[in-house]
Amino acid sequence: MDVRSQISMVFHLDKCIGCHTCSIACKNIWTDRKGTEYMWWNNVETKPGTGYPTKWEDQEKYKGGWENVKGKLKLRSTGKAKIIFNIFHNPHMPSMNDYYEPWTYKYETLFNAPEGTDQPTALPISMVTGKYMDIEAGPNWDDDLSGSPIYAENDPNLSALTPEQKSQLFAIQRLVFFYFPRICNHCLNPACVASCPSGALYKRGEDGIVLIDQERCRGWRSCVAACPYKKSYYNWSTGKSEKCILCFPRIESGQAPACFHSCVGRIRYLGVLLYDADKIEEVAKKSDTELVEAQRSMILDPFDPEVIQAALENGIHEQVITAAQNSPVYKFVKIWKIALPPHIEFRTLPMLFYVPPLLPVMSSFNGDTIKNMGEGFFPDFDKARAPIEFFGKLFAAGNNSKIRYVLKKQMAVRTYRRAVTVGDIEMDLAKKMLREADCSVEEAEAIYKLTSLCTFNDRFVIPPAHREEAIEMLRDPLEYKQSAGFGFREEPKRGS
Amino acid sequence: MMQNATLFDYFNLFWFAILPYIALFTFFLITIQRYTKTGYSYSSLSSQFLENKIHFWGLVPFHYGIILILIGHFIGFLIPKQVLIWNSNPLRLYVIEVTAFIGGLFTLIGLVNIFIRRLTDARAKVVTSNIDWIVLSILLFQIVTGLLVAIFNSWGTQWFAASVAPYLWSVLKFNPNIAFVTPLPLTAKLHIIGAYTIVLLFPFTRLVHMLVIPNPYLWRKPQLVRWYWNRKKIRTQKSI
């Protein structure tokens, strides 16, 4: 058992209102520089929709992630042999057209325009070339456009649906959608790390954050092609790649990452998971339907004395173990089992989990609204207008029983709380539903509390980074006592 | 030799006995200095992200062509005798000449596409610097002179091994014997001068990227983890 700690995340999709505040918070801090204008380390997609970059989930097109070839894990894009032949032109590299060309507006024309009969207009100009341009796409161009034949109907996840289900999904006045915010998943088996010819990408041992060493990166762009979530980006100006850093400078000082901190719907949870790193390869090779359960099985119980002992022996700090015990992510993923990984069939073992949304499923019952709930038991999820197969493809690699379990439990908790607070549902019936959904009354209360009444400190349980001890490991602090805190990474330039 | 030297002789002396040393000296000094100082910034600025279509038709034929051509030049330089023996059979001479010419054509086609791409695509233009244009121009000059030599002064593999290789060795041995190259036709001379210019410019341009190979990648494990503590001497509860 090789116990490691991982800062993991849960996004509760029922609570996401699609306001893009997270994206803006991230953009303002990290990607407002030349060459990064088109990057959105955090973005919010509408599902069904094509996403950003367009159709990123379609690995026939992008060749991201891993595949299990006769018992061996191989990168789809640039394996060791393939990179030699594709070294001058990578055929699976997305180009700017797959994202969008960033633009701004020429605001001065608002003031300079000669007097006329029309309102002056600020024309869009490209942030790459500086020339006038026609805007054809943006990072959220499919926003709220469920039912659109250009966007929603090209969602790669629709391949799991029958034509009948598809036509129902997009029926006018009945169409349904939900939001899907995305950041880097900080995977346990990251394809980006495995693909880097320079060895610039790495996982931090202490918290599992995946980073690109900007000094080592040579701009091969293999990570861009290899990441199946397309969360590694090429900075065309510096010639180096960049990605979400989970705001590690904030995390190290005990603050939540900017996108988490700013989340209006309070959908985001962050906490430590302890996992067994010896199992990574074994789990990543499981068949599609086993993957969700297999990944869950490698997450360890932070209360188990054996795990605690192994963690301490591995150098994990006591306070990190305490953080793991209080982790909201552990509850959602492992105890309640209602948070699922996105597209785990890409086999990178993502450590960002989603609670699938209940609202579009429920509201679709009999094509009507929630009033059917009062009639009694669970709706027939298979008749839902947002088909269970769609969620199955997105969050369970086609294992729809996992989705059914989550939806049932959420529905039961809802019914139970309605019985408690409104009282128009019989408590016996609510408790029967809880039993049916594999949920105790205590668990239902806990789910309710962490979902609806969660405070800042409930949502974000950030382990102390102990950088001070990190320094002690490498250097004698007394030796550096009088010189700490000031220095140059590069020679200061003078004259010339 | 210098007694009745003409201006032309001085030219020859400069281009074939002095320039090579300026070029090589600069090459080694600046290349090593830049490699140790700027480390991993030592590469070519890729623009495939900005333009992905002509890129293929430029970069792929250019690189495969020029690799073939460079390997050919190196073989002629390193083992000239064996090349002459190989060429003693006319059929084998034809094969090697035709292969080299096709390699040259590939390089030319690729380079022309690279020119077109950087001239016509607005986004690719943004990341094209002046030094890039100088590099591209000198490469074009080099390929055109090379192909002209191949067309008008045939059996180059033969006379390269017989006269250019010994000249290059004499340069490397710090005893340049320009008598080997002074009788060569003008295009061949221009080609040699172009080569020295490329060596001279090499450390200041994106050409440095050819020294970068994904070496550790081919042998390392897929996953990399960086620890801030020593995994072998890990801290136990007692030592906290």
Alpha-carbon gap, residue A460 to A432, rounded angstroms: 33
pLDDT surpasses 70 at B34: yes
Neighbours of B178 (CB within 10 A): 17
The token duo for B123 is 């986004």
Place of tokens 């890039």: B132
What's A92's DSSP letter? T
Host domain of residue B21 = 7-218
Closest CA to B233 of A473, A373, A179: A473
Of residues A38 and B222, more confidence is placed in A38
- Tokens 């992630």 — which residue? A65
Minimum distance, in Å, between the CA of residue B127 and any CA atom of chain A: 7
Chain B environment of A80 (Cβ under 8 Å): 217-218
pLDDT at B156 over 90: no
CA distances from A386 to A18, A248, A345, A389, A405 (A): 18, 37, 21, 9, 16
The count of CB pairs under 8 A between chains A and B is 135
- Is pLDDT at B213 greater than 60 in this prediction? yes
Return the DSSP state at B51: -
Q: Residue B226's pLDDT is what? A: 87
Please, what is the average pLDDT of chain B?
A: 89
**Residue B104 Cα to chain centre, angstroms:** 13
d(Cα B108, Cα B63) in Å, to the nearest integer? 10
Count of CB atoms situated within 10 Å of the CB of B6: 8
Closest CA–CA distance from residue A247 to any residue of chain B (Å): 18
The predicted structure's pLDDT at residue A320: 95
Residue at B109: amino acid letter = I
In this prediction, residue A376 carries a pLDDT of 53
Res A62: pLDDT = 93
pLDDT in tens, B92-138: 989 999 999 999 999 999 999 999 999 999 999 999 999 999 999 99
pLDDT value of residue A146: 87
Residue B65 sits in a domain whose CATH number is 1.20.950.20
Residue B60: list chain A partners with CB under 8 A.
Answer: 88-89
Q: Is residue B12 one of the residues assigned to a domain?
A: yes
**Closest partner CB to A218 (pick from B43, B62, B229):** B43
Yes or no: say if A232 and A93 are a contact pair by the CB < 8 Å rule: no
Show residues of chain A in contact with B235, CB under 8 Å: 315
A45 DSSP 8-state letter: E
CA distance B89 to A234: 52
Distance from CA of B180 to the nearest CA of A (A): 37
Long-range contacts of A369-377 (CB under 8 A, 24+ apart): A373/A414, A373/A415, A373/A418, A373/A425, A374/A424, A374/A425, A376/A429, A377/A429, A377/A433, A377/A436
How much is the pLDDT for A234? 96
Question: How many domains would you assign to chain B?
Answer: 1
Give the model's pLDDT for residue B236.
45
**pLDDT classification of B238: cutoffs 50, 70, 90:** very low
Question: Burial, A309: exposed, middle or buried (Cβ in 10 Å; 0-12, 13-18, 19+)?
Answer: middle
Look at residue B223 and tell me if it is in a domain.
no
Q: Cα Rg for chain A, rounded, in angstroms?
A: 24
Distance CA B57, CA B80 (A): 34
Q: Do B234 and A80 touch (CB under 8 A)?
A: no
Contact of A98 with A87, CB cutoff 8 Å: no
Mutation for B interface: A62, A218, A252, A471, most B CBs within 10 A = A218
Best of A68, A73, A89 to disrupt the B interface by mutation (most B CBs within 10 Å)? A89
Whether B228 maps to a domain, the answer reads no
Q: What is the pLDDT of residue B88?
A: 87
pLDDT at A487: 63
Alpha-carbon A436 to chain mean position: 30
Does B200 score more than 90 pLDDT? yes
Considering only the beta carbons, identify the residue of B62, B217, B225 that sits closest to A202: B225
Q: What residues of chain A score a pLDDT lower than 50?
A: 364-375, 496
Contact A239 B218 (CB under 8 A): no
Total-model pTM: 0.90
Question: At B75, which helix (H) or strand (E)?
Answer: helix B54-78
Q: Is residue B230 included in any domain, yes or no?
A: no
Whether B116 is in a domain gets the answer yes
Q: How far is B34 from chain A (nearest CA, A)?
A: 14
What does the alpha-carbon distance between residue A11 and residue B200 come to, in Å, rounded to a whole number? 56
What token pair was written down for A169?
């999904």
Question: Is B159 contained in some domain?
Answer: yes
d(CA A244, CA A201): 12
Predicted confidence at residue B46, as pLDDT, reads 93
Distance from CA of A287 to the nearest CA of B (A): 21
- Closest by CA to A251, choosing from A211, A196, A213, is A211
